[in-house]
Each structure stands twice: as C-alpha cells, then as structure tokens.
A = this chain, B = another copy of it.
Amino acid sequence: MDKNQIAETFKNIQDHICQALEKADGKGVFQEDLWDRAEGGGGRTRILTHGQVIEKGGVAFSAVHGPTPEKILQKLGLKKADFFATGVSIVIHPESPMVPIIHMNIRYFEMSDGTYWFGGGIDLTPHYIDAEDAAHFHQAVKNTCDAFDPAFYPKFKKWADDYFYIRHRQETRGVGGIFFDRLVATDEMPFERLFEFVQSIGTLFPKVYTHLMQKNKDLPYGENEKAWQQLRRGRYVEFNLVWDAGTKFGLDTNGRTESILMSMPPLAKWTYMHEAAPGTAEAFTLAHLKKDINWI
C-alpha cells in the first residue's frame, strides 16, 4: 500500500459519496472541476447546488505534493523535505433548516523523511439540535470506531469537542462527532488497518447523512427557521475562517481558494446581539452547543 494507492482509494470514496448524495437528493447533480497545483499534484472539486435537499454541497478530492511549505517545516522542526498529501473533504449545506449541516474529512500526509500520518473527522452541525438525531449520529460514529479500537471514540469525540469550538462565542460548532490527527501505525494497529479505519469514516458518511436527509427533509418550516439557519451559517463561517486549522493553512499557503472555501454557506446572516427567546427550539439549540455532552 503506497501513497498513490491511498489516493486512488480516496478517489473511489469521493465517487461513492457523490453517487449516494445525488441519489438521496433526487435532483442535484455534482459539477466537477479538475485543477492542477503549480508545485505538483491537483484535485477534483465537485459541487452540487440547488438540489432538492442540498442547497450547496462540496465533495473534494485532492492529492498534492512538492516542497513542504515553510509553515509545516517549522511546526515539525524539520529542514527541507518534500511532502505528499491526499484527502477527501466534504461540507453540505442543506436547503432546509431542519436538515443539519455536515462536514467530513479524511486525509493522509507523508514526507520524504519517512514521517507520515492519517487524520480526519466527521461532525454534525444541526441548525436545530434534535437529541435523537444527535444520538443516532454519535452511535453510528461510535460503532464505526469501536470496530477498530474501543479507545478511539471517547478520545476522538473529546478531540472534536475541543476542535470544533467557536472560542469567541464559547459555543461548539454543533453536536460534534470525532476528530483525529497524526495517527500512525502501532503493533496493535498496523498501517493497513489504520487506513481501513480512515476509509470506514469515509463510507460511514453517506450512510449516516442520507439517513438524516431523508428523516428531516419534509419537516415543515417557515421564515423564522430560515432566518435562524442563516444566523447559524454565520457562525459556521466564523468557525471556518477564524479557527479551522485546515482552512487557515490552505489560505496561508496559497491553496486553491475556491476549493477551500466551498465550505462557505450560500447565504449567511449576522444580527447584532441576537438572542433566542426562552423556551424556543433556538434557545434549546444554544443551550446544547456545549462540550462534553454525551449524546448517546
């Protein structure tokens, strides 16, 4: 299993996910942009807009290589080295405020000095938190993790709570999920098995999200819920542009801007000092944008 096989597998996962999302949406079709990176490699960015359920969704694959950006070298305390990075990244903004936003990412990074790691995550951002949906989502993620290592879910769930956190709002981005980075093989978890774990997060994504699409897409909503959705999307923007390490790194190192910012919502709103009225579904949601909630 070498880096090119990993990239090929990720490509197949992208294909699989796009097919599943198109089928569940029933109307939208992904448009593909192929792009090259001047320093080496490139990607396939796929965007679906104005679907029946998905207002704007991006499923991106990339495999890039070349001299390691100075910022990474500094972080790792390394001198010159070449790097290779491949991954699949997804953000889906649904039309209905009753369907949650979701994000998924799996990635592999390797350097010419032999350093490598896997990373990834999946997290759910409901505009309206539904405890049952959150439990379903976390249970599915936990089951996937448990098949590999029972220590994964508790560790990666906490990591997600800490990572997907809008510090300046003291709010989590949503109900969390898992986040992991710099995973390397061990005696108990050889490289191939670790890669299988990462793949299993990729294949979990369409299963769990199409379920949430189907379950919620026909729920009624009105202007009030649409306005709330736009406010929550504003928070999503704040997280991604201020705190998300991947976005920051991409924009800092001259990545492909339109692929990095495919995570931006179609329409977002900011209202000064907006407050949710007590007892409303909005207030319930705000009260549950907290770390360390055991959703299961």
Contacts of A234 in B (CB 8 A): 264
What's the least CB distance linking A63 to chain B, in Å? Answer: 21
Contacts of A270 in B (CB 8 A): 56, 261, 264-266, 268
Q: Which of A251-273 contact B (CB under 8 A)?
A: 251, 254-255, 257-258, 260-262, 264-273
Contact of A271 among B237, B266, B268 (CB under 8 A): B266
- A22 contacts partner chain B, Cβ-Cβ < 8 Å: no
Given contacts A169-B257, A251-B168, A267-B267, contact A272 B238 (CB under 8 A): no
Contacts of A248 in B (CB 8 A): 242
- Per the bound structure, the CA–CA distance linking A272 and B57 in Å amounts to 10
Query: How many copies are assembled?
Result: 2
What's the least CB distance linking A46 to chain B, in Å? Answer: 10
- Residue from A49, A260, A269 with most neighbouring chain B CB atoms (10 Å): A269
- A47 contacts partner chain B, Cβ-Cβ < 8 Å: yes
- Per the bound structure, the CA–CA distance linking A251 and B243 in Å amounts to 10
- A33 contacts partner chain B, Cβ-Cβ < 8 Å: yes
Contact of A251 among B230, B242, B264, B271 (CB under 8 A): B242
- Per the bound structure, the CA–CA distance linking A12 and B269 in Å amounts to 31
Contact of A241 among B56, B241, B258 (CB under 8 A): B241
- A120 contacts partner chain B, Cβ-Cβ < 8 Å: no
Given contacts A168-B251, A169-B257, A251-B168, contact A49 B238 (CB under 8 A): no
- A167 contacts partner chain B, Cβ-Cβ < 8 Å: yes
Given contacts A241-B241, A267-B269, contact A257 B58 (CB under 8 A): no
Contacts of A251 in B (CB 8 A): 167-168, 242
Given contacts A266-B271, A272-B58, contact A257 B168 (CB under 8 A): yes
Q: Which of A266-290 contact B (CB under 8 A)?
A: 266-273
Contacts of A272 in B (CB 8 A): 47, 49, 56, 58, 258, 262
> Which 7 residue pairs of A and B lie closest in terms of their CB atoms, listed nearest first?
A264-B270, A241-B241, A168-B251, A168-B257, A47-B272, A241-B242, A267-B269
Question: Which residues of A come within 8 Å of B, CB atoms?
Answer: 33, 47, 49, 56, 58, 167-169, 230, 234, 237-238, 241-242, 248, 251, 254-255, 257-258, 260-262, 264-273
Q: List 20 A-B contacts (CB under 8 A).
A: A33-B273, A47-B272, A56-B270, A168-B254, A168-B260, A237-B237, A237-B268, A241-B241, A242-B242, A242-B248, A242-B251, A258-B273, A265-B270, A266-B269, A266-B270, A266-B271, A267-B267, A267-B269, A268-B268, A268-B270
Can you name 5 extra interface pairs (CB under 8 A) apart from A169-B257, A265-B270? A58-B272, A168-B254, A238-B261, A266-B270, A267-B268
